[in-house]
C-alpha cells in the first residue's frame, strides 16, 4: 500500500512539473514582444547614400588649349570637375579649370559629352560658370548653408581626381577647420573650409557635400596645401551662391575694387621691430591706372584703415572694399615710407573712388 502511495506521489509531481513547463511555453508565446530597436546607420551607409544621390550632379570638364599639335589642333588638355546648377545646363566650377580654354567638353554621369561655353569667371574667388545644352535629364545639385558647418562634421568629396578615368571618385572625411585664411599669388584672400577628405588634381570644381546630400563647398586643388597629407580646401557654398548669382546675371562679379596688390601684413611685432608709428596694417602696391594709383598711393604704402574700419589683415582689407558700392568714395588712412625710410614715415588720409 505504501509503495503504491509513493508511486502516486511521484506521478503527481511529474505531472505538476510538466504542467509548469507547458505553461511557461504558452506564457512566453503570449507575452508581448519587446520593441525592436533600429540601429543607427553606419558612416559608410551615409557616405554611399550621399554618393548615389549627388554623383549624377557632378560632371567632368576637359579643357583644350590651342598649340602646336598637328593632328587635332590642340597643344594641351587638362581636366577638372563641375557641379550642375540647373536644368538649363549651367555648371559651376573653378576659374583655373576653364581659364584660357579654347574648347570645353563636359562629360555627364552616363558618359555623354557636351560642348560648353563660358558664361562668366571670377579670378579673385577662383569660380566660374559654364553652360551646356540643357534638358530635363540634368540633375541640379542642392546647395546647403555653409555658415551652419561645425568642425568635426562628416563630409564627402566627389570629383574626378587625375582625370576622367577616375570619374566621380568619392572620398570621405570631416570638416577640419573653418574660415581658414589663404592668400593667392594675385594678392586675394580666401576664407575656406578645411577638410581631410582627399582633394587631388582633377577634383577642382567638384563637390564637398554634407550627409544630407547638400553642397556645402566647391573643392579647389589649386589652393590645396601642397606637400601636406589630409589638408584640402573648399570654397564655402554661401560664397559660391553669391558669386554664381552675379555671373549668371551679369557675366561677371559686380564688386568694387581698390586697385592694389597685397604685398604683406604688418603685425604689432613687425611694427615695433621696424620702429613704425603704427601697430598694424596691410602693405600694398597700387596697380597702374587703378583707383589707388590715381589717388596717389605709392608702392609699399601701409593701409591701416578704410572709413571707420581698422585694417589688420589682407582679408579685412578685401572684405572692407567688397562691402562698398562701385563708384563710392572711401577714406583710406595709410602710412607712407619715402624710400622705405621709417624715420620719414608719413601718416595721412586720402580719398579713393572705387571702380568696377
126 is catalytic: yes
Q: Which of 55, 81, 90, 126 is catalytic?
A: 126
* Helix H or strand E segment including 80: strand 74-84
Q: How many CB atoms lie within 10 A of CB 340?
A: 9
Distance, in Å, from the CA atom of 257 to the CA atom of 100, rounded to the nearest integer, reads 23
The C-alpha cell that represents 141 in the structure block: 545639385
90 carries an active-site annotation? no
Residue 172 in grid coordinates: 570621405
- Residue pair 220/93 in contact (Cβ under 8 Å)? The answer is no
From the candidates 176, 204, 220, 255, which is the catalytic residue? 204
Q: Do residues 233 and 239 lie in contact, with contact meaning Cβ atoms separated by under 8 Å?
A: no
Q: Which of 57, 63, 81, 96 is catalytic?
A: 96
Say how far apart CA 281 and CA 298 lie, in whole Å. Answer: 15
The three cell numbers locating residue 281: 596694417
Task: Please write down the long-range contacts of 150-154, taking CB distance under 8 Å and 24 or more positions apart.
Answer: 150/175, 150/178, 151/175, 151/176, 151/177, 151/178, 153/210, 154/43, 154/46, 154/47, 154/210, 154/211
For residue 340 the three cell numbers come to 622705405
Contacts of 348 (CB under 8 A, 6+ apart): 333, 334, 336
DSSP string for 268-294: HHHHHHTT-S-S-EEEEEEPTTSHHHH
- Catalytic residue check, 147: no
- CA 198, CA 170: separation in Å to the nearest integer? 9
**Is the Cα torsion angle 203, 201, 226, 264 positive or negative in sign?**
negative
Phi then psi for residue 59, to 5 deg, are -120, 160
Rounded to whole angstroms, how far apart are CA atoms 158 and 141? 12
* Residues assigned a catalytic role: 96, 126, 204
Amino acid at each position: 500500500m505504501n509503495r503504491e502511495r509513493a508511486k502516486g506521489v511521484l506521478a503527481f509531481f511529474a505531472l505538476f512539473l510538466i504542467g509548469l513547463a507547458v505553461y511557461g511555453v504558452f506564457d512566453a508565446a503570449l507575452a508581448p514582444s519587446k520593441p525592436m530597436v533600429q540601429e543607427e546607420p553606419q558612416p559608410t551607409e551615409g557616405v554611399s547614400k550621399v554618393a548615389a544621390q549627388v554623383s549624377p550632379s557632378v560632371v567632368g570638364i576637359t579643357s583644350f588649349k590651342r598649340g602646336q599639335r598637328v593632328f587635332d589642333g590642340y597643344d594641351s588638355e587638362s581636366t577638372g570637375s563641375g557641379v550642375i546648377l540647373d536644368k538649363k545646363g549651367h555648371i559651376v566650377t573653378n576659374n583655373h579649370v576653364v581659364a584660357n580654354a579654347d574648347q570645353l567638353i563636359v562629360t555627364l554621369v552616363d558618359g555623354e559629352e557636351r560642348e560648353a561655353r563660358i558664361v562668366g569667371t571670377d579670378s579673385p574667388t577662383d569660380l566660374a560658370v559654364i553652360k551646356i545644352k540643357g534638358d530635363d535629364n540634368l540633375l541640379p545639385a542642392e546647395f546647403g548653408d555653409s555658415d551652419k558647418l561645425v568642425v568635426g562634421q562628416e563630409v564627402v568629396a566627389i570629383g574626378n581626381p587625375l582625370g576622367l578615368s577616375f570619374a566621380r571618385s568619392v572620398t570621405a572625411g570631416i570638416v577640419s577647420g573653418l574660415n581658414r585664411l589663404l592668400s593667392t599669388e594675385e594678392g586675394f584672400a580666401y576664407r575656406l573650409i578645411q577638410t581631410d577628405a582627399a582633394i587631388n588634381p582633377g577634383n577642382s570644381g567638384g563637390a564637398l557635400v554634407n550627409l544630407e546630400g547638400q553642397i556645402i563647398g566647391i573643392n579647389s586643388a589649386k589652393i590645396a596645401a601642397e606637400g601636406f597629407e589630409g589638408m584640402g580646401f573648399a570654397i564655402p557654398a554661401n560664397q559660391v551662391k553669391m558669386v554664381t548669382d552675379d555671373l549668371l546675371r551679369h557675366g561677371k562679379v559686380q564688386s568694387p575694387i581698390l586697385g592694389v596688390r597685397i604685398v604683406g601684413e604688418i603685425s604689432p611685432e613687425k611694427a615695433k621691430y621696424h620702429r613704425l608709428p603704427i601697430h598694424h596694417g596691410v602693405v600694398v602696391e597700387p596697380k597702374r591706372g587703378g583707383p589707388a594709383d590715381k589717388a596717389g598711393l605709392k608702392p609699399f604704402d601701409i593701409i591701416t584703415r578704410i572709413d571707420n574700419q581698422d585694417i589688420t589683415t589682407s582679408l579685412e582689407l578685401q572684405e572692407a572694399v567688397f562691402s562698398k558700392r562701385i563708384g563710392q568714395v572711401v577714406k583710406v588712412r595709410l602710412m607712407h615710407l619715402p624710400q622705405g625710410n621709417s624715420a620719414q614715415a608719413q601718416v595721412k588720409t586720402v580719398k579713393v573712388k572705387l571702380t568696377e
